[in-house]
């Protein structure tokens, strides 16, 4: 009885192991198999597509300073409310205005020595500085200069940008990918002919890089902008790039 039971257990274990073996084998991925005598060639290529930007992203804000943190914040809030109202009045939608920085920091003064000539190790706080900034998407690029002038008049004393971008870069990105693949294929054909071979097939494709918006320029002082008339904005073109690495099989 015991011998029969033990035999049944062993048979069940062997059956279970056999049933799981194919699943385990399927989970192991292997590199593409190359035909005997064939060669492998890896090519990296870039592709680019140019577009006229349809979006100008910039940062605008207010920095205020007062004796106390609460006073600095209160002054800042009053001015910043006026700036946001000016943005909306200039045609910027509420969804295109997003707070990017709200901070309060102490302002330190020069430490002084006491009557004995000793300088305190504690920093001397002479006030507080409050900063509030918003990131803005200007969808009508032609109005950018006018918008900045309006912001400065409303009390903004910090402005940085613009970063010209594409609202939807997908089409341009696909064009860049196609160009990169064409370049990779043409280069592979060139190497193959030089070696007396031909391109048989593509083994692997990988992509790196992609669309990256332009960085914003350094912030401009509000008083400098107030001294000049608004300048026209030249958006130019933005480029979208793609990089592909393709492995080809070469043979006779």
160 and 192 share a domain? Answer: no
Mean pLDDT, rounded, for 150-176: 93
Model confidence at 177, pLDDT cuts 50, 70, 90, reads: very high
Q: Do 49 and 59 fall into the same domain? A: no
Per DSSP, 121 falls in state: S
User: Which residue range forms the structural domain that includes residue 179?
Assistant: 33-53+167-215+230-252
Strand pairing report for 198-208 and 97-109: unpaired
Is 122 a residue whose pLDDT tops 90?
Answer: no
Q: What percent of the chain has pLDDT over 70?
A: 76
In a domain, 176, yes or no: yes
Give the C-alpha separation, 202 to 1, whole Å.
61
Between β-strands 158-165 and 238-251, what pairing exists: parallel, antiparallel or unpaired? unpaired
Amino acid 8: pLDDT: 40
CB of 134 closer than 8 Å to CB of 97:
yes
Min mean pLDDT across 13-22, 23-32, 72-81, 137-146 is at 13-22
User: Is pLDDT above 80 for 233?
Assistant: no
Task: Say yes or no: 148 and 61 in one domain.
Answer: yes
Domain co-membership, 59 together with 158:
yes
| Reported confidence tier of residue 216, pLDDT bands at 50, 70, 90 | low
The pTM of this model reads 0.67
Q: Are residues 210 and 138 in the same domain?
A: no
Count structural domains, the chain: 2
Instruction: Please say whether the beta carbons of 98 and 193 come within 8 A.
Output: no
Q: What is the CATH number of the domain that holds 131?
A: 3.30.70.2970
Tell me what pLDDT residue 24 has: 44
Is 93 part of any domain?
A: yes
Domain membership flag for residue 225: no
Q: Please indicate, yes or no, if residue 15 is contained in any of the structural domains.
A: no
Please indicate, yes or no, whether residues 143 and 95 belong to a single structural domain of this protein.
yes
- What number of CA atoms fall less than 13 Å from residue 231's CA on the CB side? 9
What residue has token string 């979006």?
A: 55
pLDDT band at residue 151 using 50, 70 and 90 as cut-offs:
very high
Structure confidence at residue 123 as a pLDDT band (50, 70, 90): confident
Asked whether residue 111 carries a pLDDT value surpassing 70, the answer given is: yes
The DSSP bridge partners found for residue 58 are 136
Query: For the chain, where are the alpha helices, taking DSSP H only?
Result: 2-26, 69-89, 144-154, 170-194, 222-226
Distance CA 201, CA 71 (A): 70
Look at residue 209 and tell me whether its pLDDT is greater than 90: no
The mean pLDDT of the chain is: 83
Tokens of 21: 């073996």
């Amino acid at each position: 009885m015991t011998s029969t039971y033990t035999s049944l257990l062993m048979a069940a274990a062997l059956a279970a192991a056999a049933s799981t073996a194919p699943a385990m084998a399927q989970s192991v991925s292997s590199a593409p198999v190359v035909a005997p005598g064939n060669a492998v060639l890896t090519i990296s290529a870039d592709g680019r597509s140019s577009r006229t930007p349809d979006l100008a992203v910039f940062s605008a804000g207010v920095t205020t300073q007062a004796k106390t943190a609460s006073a600095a914040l209160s002054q800042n809030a009053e001015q910043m409310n006026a700036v946001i109202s000016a943005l909306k009045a200039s045609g910027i939608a509420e969804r295109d205005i997003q707070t990017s920085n709200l901070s309060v920091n102490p302002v330190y003064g020069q430490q002084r020595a006491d009557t004995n000539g000793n300088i305190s190790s504690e920093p001397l706080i002479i006030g507080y500085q409050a900063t509030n900034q918003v990131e803005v998407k200007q969808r009508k690029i032609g109005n950018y200069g006018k918008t900045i002038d309006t912001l400065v008049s409303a009390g903004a004393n910090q402005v940085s940008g613009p970063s010209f971008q594409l609202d939807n870069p997908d089409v341009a990105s696909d064009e860049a990918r196609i160009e990169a693949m064409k370049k990779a294929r043409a280069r592979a054909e060139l190497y193959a002919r030089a070696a007396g071979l031909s391109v048989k097939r593509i083994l692997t494709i990988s992509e790196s890089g992609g669309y990256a918006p332009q960085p914003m320029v350094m912030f401009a002082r509000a008083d400098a902008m107030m001294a000049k008339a608004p300048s026209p904005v030249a958006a130019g073109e933005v480029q979208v790039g793609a990089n592909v690495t393709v492995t080809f099989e070469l043979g006779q």
